[in-house]
């Protein structure tokens, strides 16, 4: 049976990363990697397709604007059926996971999300996934004939950009109607810095008593030359910082040289996003806070006393 793999992500960078395991998987059984591009690229292959054997250009009859995950899943299912493709790799992003689940339902396929590794073993899909908030890796084999695998961003580097250009193939899919109607679109409040690339981060949690006290944390970040992040309640519940400042399992995963956690308890879901940090420092008034089990240096104390003193000390050493 064919080991052709269909690759799709709404994010070109992630699509490019996914090509790496897709190529290894498909070529191990003599199959091809086809990358699906939903509109946009009129001439030749999109720039994010190095190494792909083919790019499928799909026009979207009956769809205006960005296709929803529901529509994307139906298009992917249509393409898989037309071409007899049994394996689909997507990005394990919010939209990618929704597409993966819906697609698996339509194809009656197995589905695995949050995968960090995928390869072919004896003609089956062998996967590794992060579990327990990233504290353990679960290994498994998907035994179904058709499989949808959602791969976590940054699990793979993209393939080298040299190599033959993929062929571009036009695909016609059945006319679609979107069941979900977009009633309003708005800008999501964003921080100015990409925390995934920050070298130093000062992150603040619910130990902070009021929004105005963020100034104190900002002063500390300024003297250290650090970016500001937070635990989920500060952005998602209180709205004191933008959504993309929230670090952890459901937020961004960071790997700075220095991570300074101020008034953060260190719950599993938060720690899952910081464990790649080189040096973790914690300030917390509760000596039994779990963050102290996960840091390199800790200060037990009131942040309203420790942070001003820290700012003073750092300034005096400059």
Ligand X SMILES: Cc1cc2nc3c(=O)[nH]c(=O)nc-3n(C[C@H](O)[C@H](O)[C@H](O)COP(=O)(O)OP(=O)(O)OC[C@H]3O[C@@H](n4cnc5c(N)ncnc54)[C@H](O)[C@@H]3O)c2cc1C
Cα–Cα distance measured from residue 130 to residue 272, given in angstroms and rounded to the nearest whole number: 10
Binding test (CB under 6 A) with ligand X, winner from 153, 233, 238, 275: 233
Tokens 């899952």, residue?
272
Cβ within 8 Å of residue 65, ≥6 positions away: 182
The b/e string for 166-191 (b: 16+ C-beta within 10 A; e otherwise) is bebeebebeebebeeeeeeeeeeeeb
Closer CB to ligand X, 21 or 229, in the complex: 229
Listed ranges 77-85, 99-107, 108-116, 205-213: which one lies at the site for ligand X (CB under 6 A): 205-213
In the complex, minimum distance from the CB of residue 301 to ligand X, in angstroms, rounded to a whole number:
7
Listed ranges 39-47, 98-106, 134-142, 298-306: which one lies at the site for ligand X (CB under 6 A): 298-306
96 binding ligand X? (CB under 6 A): no
153 binding ligand X? (CB under 6 A): no
Closest CA to 54 of 4, 121, 126, 117: 4
Q: What are phi and psi of 21, to 5 degrees?
A: -65, -30
In the complex, minimum distance from the CB of residue 193 to ligand X, in angstroms, rounded to a whole number:
18
Listed ranges 15-23, 151-159, 164-172, 242-250: which one lies at the site for ligand X (CB under 6 A): 242-250
Binding test (CB under 6 A) with ligand X, winner from 12, 29, 275, 304: 304
264 binding ligand X? (CB under 6 A): yes
Binding test (CB under 6 A) with ligand X, winner from 50, 96, 248, 298: 248
**Count of residues binding ligand X (CB under 6 A)?**
27
Q: Where are the beta strands (DSSP E) in the chain?
A: 5-8, 33-38, 54-58, 87-91, 110-121, 124-131, 136-142, 147-151, 167-171, 200-204, 227-230, 258-262, 279-284, 297-300
In the complex, minimum distance from the CB of residue 77 to ligand X, in angstroms, rounded to a whole number:
29
67 binding ligand X? (CB under 6 A): no
130 binding ligand X? (CB under 6 A): no
195 binding ligand X? (CB under 6 A): no
In the complex, minimum distance from the CB of residue 150 to ligand X, in angstroms, rounded to a whole number:
17
Tokens 């000390």, residue?
313
302 binding ligand X? (CB under 6 A): yes
Question: What count of other Cβ atoms lies within 10 Å of the Cβ of residue 216?
Answer: 17
User: Are 5 and 22 spatial neighbours (Cβ–Cβ below 8 Å)?
Assistant: yes
In the complex, minimum distance from the CB of residue 152 to ligand X, in angstroms, rounded to a whole number:
14
In the complex, minimum distance from the CB of residue 275 to ligand X, in angstroms, rounded to a whole number:
12
Where would I find the H helices in the chain?
Answer: 12-28, 69-83, 94-107, 214-224, 232, 268-271, 303-317
Residues lying near ligand X in the complex (CB under 6 A): 205-207, 231-233, 246-251, 263-265, 267, 269-270, 273, 283-286, 289, 302-304
């Amino acid at each position: 049976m064919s080991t052709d793999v269909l690759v799709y992500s709404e994010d070109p960078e992630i699509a490019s990363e996914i090509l790496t395991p897709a190529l290894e998987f498909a070529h191990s059984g003599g199959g091809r990697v086809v990358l699906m591009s939903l509109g946009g690229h009129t001439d030749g292959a999109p720039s994010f397709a190095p190494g792909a054997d083919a790019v499928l250009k799909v026009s979207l009859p009956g769809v205006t604007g960005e296709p929803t995950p529901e529509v994307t899943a139906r298009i992917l299912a249509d393409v898989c059926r037309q071409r007899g493709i049994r394996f689909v790799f997507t990005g394990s992003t919010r939209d990618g996971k929704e597409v993966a689940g819906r697609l698996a339902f339509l194809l009656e396929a197995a589905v695995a999300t949050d995968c960090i590794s995928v390869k072919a073993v004896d003609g089956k899909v062998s996967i590794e996934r992060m579990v327990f908030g990233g504290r353990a890796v679960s290994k498994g084999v998907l035994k179904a004939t058709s499989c949808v695998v959602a791969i976590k961003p940054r699990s793979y580097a993209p393939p080298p950009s040299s190599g033959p250009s993929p062929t571009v193939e036009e695909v016609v899919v059945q006319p679609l109607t979107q069941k979900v109607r977009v009633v309003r679109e708005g800008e999501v409040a964003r921080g100015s810095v990409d925390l995934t690339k920050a070298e130093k981060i000062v992150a603040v949690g619910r130990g902070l008593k009021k929004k105005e006290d963020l100034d104190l944390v900002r002063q500390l970040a300024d003297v250290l030359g650090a970016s500001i992040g937070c635990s989920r309640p500060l952005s998602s519940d209180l709205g004191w910082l933008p959504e993309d400042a929230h670090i952890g399992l459901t937020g961004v995963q960071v790997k700075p040289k220095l991570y300074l956690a101020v008034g953060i308890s260190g719950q599993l879901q938060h720690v899952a996003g910081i464990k790649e940090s080189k040096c973790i420092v914690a300030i917390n008034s509760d000596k039994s806070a779990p963050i102290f089990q996960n840091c390199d240096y800790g200060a037990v104390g009131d942040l309203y006393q420790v942070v001003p003193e820290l700012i003073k000390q750092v300034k005096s050493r400059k």
